[in-house]
Amino acid sequence: MSKSMFGGLVARRLCQAILAGLALIVPAATASAVPIITGLHTTGTEYAVGSGGQDSFWEVYAFPTAYTGPLSPGYQSWVFSGGAPILNVPPTWYPGRGNGGSDNVGGNGARWLGLQNNDASALFPGNFSTPQSDYTVIYRTTFQSDRTGIASFDLLTAADNAVTFFVGGTVDNTNSLMPTMTGAQIGLEKQGLGFLGWVNGDAPVVAGTNYLYAVVRDRFQVDIDNPNIGNYGQTGLLVAAVPEPSSIVLAALGGGVMAIGALRRRLKGSV
């Protein structure tokens, strides 16, 4: 057997071995890849700047059980139009100005959500004697996952006055003013309504439809002129960025194709 024929035979057998290995490795890499998240919408982007309406994707899901007003949870949240009147979106609610945002528009064109149409009045109006607990309202949206596993989330957000994100779970009404979730929490609570910040973390998801919950906390604020009383505002939420589909699976498949292509070019030169 000539040296060139022997080299060609070894190369072909090596190619067969690598192809067989890839047949095992690529599915394994695919199975262990980060789930691909799709259909998770930023807030309010279906409306043009200066207009508003009910958000098709973000629902007002739960109120404090202590609330006895006319609103009932289980409706689509309101996208504020921005600007006047003063009860619409106060200037301090313009998150993202330092990141290119303005009026009711944050990063990536996201808009501020609230409980009532262009009305930022408090869920618990009036003055209360101090001290009092904060209260929370829970917003909910859906997203899709291509598989069951642990997904990574990157959420650029702002809220009045703070927000904590959860995946899945049920509402916990142990505290009558502060309902929360029993699901998996993503990262830490994001505080501050006047600027955008990232919430990062991992959470288990299932193949198909999943729920993302935003537990928005409104602070009880003591009156600066009379420390014996205080009041509440209305909760609001803005989510300006969400996870992009993972490229890990594509990278694994692409790497395999590149390896095969390089070997074939090498075989062609050795025959």
- The values of phi and psi at residue 199, to 5°, are -115, 120
Whether the pLDDT of residue 141 is over 60: the answer is yes
> Can you tell me the distance from the alpha carbon of 16 to that of 260, in angstroms, rounded to the nearest whole number?
10
Mean pLDDT of 132-153: 95
Alpha carbons within 13 angstroms on the beta-carbon side of residue 236 total 35
Question: Each residue of 41-71: pLDDT tens digit?
Answer: 999 999 988 889 999 999 999 999 999 999 9
Angle formed at CA 99 by CA 95 and CA 104, multiple of 5 degrees: 35
DSSP-assigned letters across all residues of 92-115: GG-TTGGGT-BTTB-GGG-B-EES
Mean pLDDT of 229-237: 87
Candidate from 79-93, 123-137, 151-165, 177-191 with smallest mean pLDDT: 79-93
Q: How far is CA 105 from CA 42, 98, 154, 174, in A?
A: 12, 12, 19, 35
Whether the pLDDT of residue 249 is over 60: the answer is no
Name residues whose C-beta falls within 8 Å of residue 28's C-beta, 6 or more positions apart in sequence. Answer: none
Question: Each residue of 2-37: pLDDT tens digit?
Answer: 444 444 444 444 344 433 433 333 333 344 588 999
- Predicted TM-score (pTM) of the model is 0.78
Whether the pLDDT of residue 38 is over 90: the answer is yes
- Which pLDDT score, from 0 to 100, does residue 98 have? 64
Domain boundaries, the chain: 3-33+250-270, 37-245
Whether the pLDDT of residue 94 is over 80: the answer is no
- Which pLDDT score, from 0 to 100, does residue 233 have? 81
Percent of the chain exceeding pLDDT 90 equals 53
Whether the pLDDT of residue 260 is over 50: the answer is no
> Can you tell me the distance from the alpha carbon of 230 to that of 81, in angstroms, rounded to the nearest whole number?
28
Question: Each residue of 209-228: pLDDT tens digit?
Answer: 999 999 999 998 898 999 99
Strands (DSSP E) found in the chain:
37-38, 53-62, 75-79, 113-114, 128-129, 135-145, 149-160, 162-167, 171-172, 180-181, 184-191, 197-205, 208-218, 221-222, 229-231, 236-241
Q: Do residues 254 and 30 lie in contact, with contact meaning Cβ atoms separated by under 8 Å?
A: no
Average pLDDT of the residues of the chain: 79
Helix (H, G, I), strand (E, B) or coil at 253: helix
